[in-house]
C-alpha cells in the first residue's frame, strides 16, 4: 500500500488505548482549559485520525508563515496549509498542559490535551500575508478568508493527544472514518490502486460517471467517495442529506465491493488550489493512490480559475512531495449527441446546447417544487432524497 505522507507508518494522535485515554480524560478535569474555535477543533479531529500525518500537533508561527509562503515547514516538511490553533484567550503560558474543549458539542467536553510549546502574537500583517497565500484573495466576502481572519491573534503551538472525534463519530457512525480505518478497509479489500473522490455536495450523474471514468482509465481496484462532514457556508446541503443521497446512488448504480462511502471531520476552507493539495495529502494518508481533481475543485464564487487546482500540482508542488497522483477531470455532462456522460474536452464537436446543463439555482428550484431534474442530470433516487429536503426547507420558511 502507498506510504503515508512524511513517514513510513501512519501516526494518528488519537489515544487508542482505553486505559490510557481514560487516565487522560481524568487528568483533563484538573487542567486549565482553552475553548477552541471550530477550525482548531476540526484540525484536532484530523490530527487525531491520522489525516494530517506526520504532524504531531499545531504549528508555531514560523512554520505557519513558511507553509503559507512555500508549502514547507521551517524544517522542510511539505504541507500545503498552516495547521494552527489561533485564539484570543489569555491566561495560558508556555509549558502549560491544557485541556482543549470542543466548541461544537454541548457542554464543551475535552477534545484533546495539549502541551503548550509556544505562544506567539500574530500581527494583522501576518494574518493578511497567510490569508492571501492560502486563499489567493483578501476579500472578506470569501468565506475562508472571513473565517481565518476571525480566529484570533495568538498562535498556541505544541503537541496534542486527541481523546475523541467530536460530534462526527456520534452523528455519522456509518460514515465517519479515520485515515487509520480507511487504510485497514483498503487492505482488507485487497485493493492496491484506489481513487479518491472529494465531495461537499450530493453527487449527480456527472459525478457518478466521473468516478466510473477514473476507475476505468486507471484500472483501479476501488474508489473512495470521501465527503466532508464538517461546517460549510450557508446554503450548502447538510451532511446527513448528502450522505443519504450518495449511499443510495452507490447502492443502486455501482457494483458491490467497488466503492467505499466514508466521511471526514473537517470544516471546509474553500481554499481552491491549496485545499486541493491538502486533499491530496490526506488521501495519501488514507492509502489512496489517486485523487480526482476536477474543475474549480474546492473553490467558491469566482475566486479561482477553472483549472487552478490542477495547475498548482504542476507549478508549485515539487515532484517528490507526494506519492499520490492526481486524475485530471474536465467539466463533465450528459451529451445528447452521444447518449452518455462525457468530459467536455473529449467532445470538441459539441455546442453548449448539445449537453444537459443545469445551474445549481435551477436544480434547487426544481427540487423545491417537487420536480425531478432530467434523469440525464440526476438519478431519480437521488433527486427524491434532495427534493424531500428542499421541500421541507421551503415549508419551514413559508
- Note if 364 is an active site residue: no
Which of 11, 21, 201, 364 is catalytic? The answer is 201
75 to each of 62, 121, 133, 319, how far by Cα in Å?
10, 21, 19, 18
Q: Measured between alpha carbons, how far is 36 from 51 in angstroms, rounded to an integer?
A: 19
Q: Measured between alpha carbons, how far is 16 from 20 in angstroms, rounded to an integer?
A: 8
* Phi, psi (degrees; rounded to nearest 5) at 187: -65, -45
What does the pLDDT profile of the chain (398 residues) look like in tens digits? 999 999 999 999 999 999 999 999 999 999 999 999 999 999 999 999 999 999 999 999 999 999 999 999 999 999 999 999 999 999 999 999 999 999 999 999 999 999 999 999 999 999 999 999 999 999 999 999 999 999 999 999 999 999 999 999 999 999 999 999 999 999 999 999 999 999 988 999 999 999 999 999 999 999 999 999 998 877 788 889 999 999 999 999 999 999 999 999 999 999 999 999 999 999 999 999 999 999 899 999 999 999 999 999 999 999 999 999 999 998 888 899 899 989 888 888 998 898 988 877 788 888 888 888 999 899 999 999 999 998 888 777 66
Map out the domains of the chain with their CATH numbers.
18-169 (3.10.400.10), 175-397 (3.40.50.620)
- Note if 201 is an active site residue: yes
Q: Measured between alpha carbons, how far is 43 from 246 in angstroms, rounded to an integer?
A: 25
pTM of this structure: 0.95
Which of 72, 200, 247, 364 is catalytic? The answer is 200
Q: Measured between alpha carbons, how far is 283 from 226 in angstroms, rounded to an integer?
A: 9
Grid cell 423545491 — which residue? 368
Amino acid at each position: 500500500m502507498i506510504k503515508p505522507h512524511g513517514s513510513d507508518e501512519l501516526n494518528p494522535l488519537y489515544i487508542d488505548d482505553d486505559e490510557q485515554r481514560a487516565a487522560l480524560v481524568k487528568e483533563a478535569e484538573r487542567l486549565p482549559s482553552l475553548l477552541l474555535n471550530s477550525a482548531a477543533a476540526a484540525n484536532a479531529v484530523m490530527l487525531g485520525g491520522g489525516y494530517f500525518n506526520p504532524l504531531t500537533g499545531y504549528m508555531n508561527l514560523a512554520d505557519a508563515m513558511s507553509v503559507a509562503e512555500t508549502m514547507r515547514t521551517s524544517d522542510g516538511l511539505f504541507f500545503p496549509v498552516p495547521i494552527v490553533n489561533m485564539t484570543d484567550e489569555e491566561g495560558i503560558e508556555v509549558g502549560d498542559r491544557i485541556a482543549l474543549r470542543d466548541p461544537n458539542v454541548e457542554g464543551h467536553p475535552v477534545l484533546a490535551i495539549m502541551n503548550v510549546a509556544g505562544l506567539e502574537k500574530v500581527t494583522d500583517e501576518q494574518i493578511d500575508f497567510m490569508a492571501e497565500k492560502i486563499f489567493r484573495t483578501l476579500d472578506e466576502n470569501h468565506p475562508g478568508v472571513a473565517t481565518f481572519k476571525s480566529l484570533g491573534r495568538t498562535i498556541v503551538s505544541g503537541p496534542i493527544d486527541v481523546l475523541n472525534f467530536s460530534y462526527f463519530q456520534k452523528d455519522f457512525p456509518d460514515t465517519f472514518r479515520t485515515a487509520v480505518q480507511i487504510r485497514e478497509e483498503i487492505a482488507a479489500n485487497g485493493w492496491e490502486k484506489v481513487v479518491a473522490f472529494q465531495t461537499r455536495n450530493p453527487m449527480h450523474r456527472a459525478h457518478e460517471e466521473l468516478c466510473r471514468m477514473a476507475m476505468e482509465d486507471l484500472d483501479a481496484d476501488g474508489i473512495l467517495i470521501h465527503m466532508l462532514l464538517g461546517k460549510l457556508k450557508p446554503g450548502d446541503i447538510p451532511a446527513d442529506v448528502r450522505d443519504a443521497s450518495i449511499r443510495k446512488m452507490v447502492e443502486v448504480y455501482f457494483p458491490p465491493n467497488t466503492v467505499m462511502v466514508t466521511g471526514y471531520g473537517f470544516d471546509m476552507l474553500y481554499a481552491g488550489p491549496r485545499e486541493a493539495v491538502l486533499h491530496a495529502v490526506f488521501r495519501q494518508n488514507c492509502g489512496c493512490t489517486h485523487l480526482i481533481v476536477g474543475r474549480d475543485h474546492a473553490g467558491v464564487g469566482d475566486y479561482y480559475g477553472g483549472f487552478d487546482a490542477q495547475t498548482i500540482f504542476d507549478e508549485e508542488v515539487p515532484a517528490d512531495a507526494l506519492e499520490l497522483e492526481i486524475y485530471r477531470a474536465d467539466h463533465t455532462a450528459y451529451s445528447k449527441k452521444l447518449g452518455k456522460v462525457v468530459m467536455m474536452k473529449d467532445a470538441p464537436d459539441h455546442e453548449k446546447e448539445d449537453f444537459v446543463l443545469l445551474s445549481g439555482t435551477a436544480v434547487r428550484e426544481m427540487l423545491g417544487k417537487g420536480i425531478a431534474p432530467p434523469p440525464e442530470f440526476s438519478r431519480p433516487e437521488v433527486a427524491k432524497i434532495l427534493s424531500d429536503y428542499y421541500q421541507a426547507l421551503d415549508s419551514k420558511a413559508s
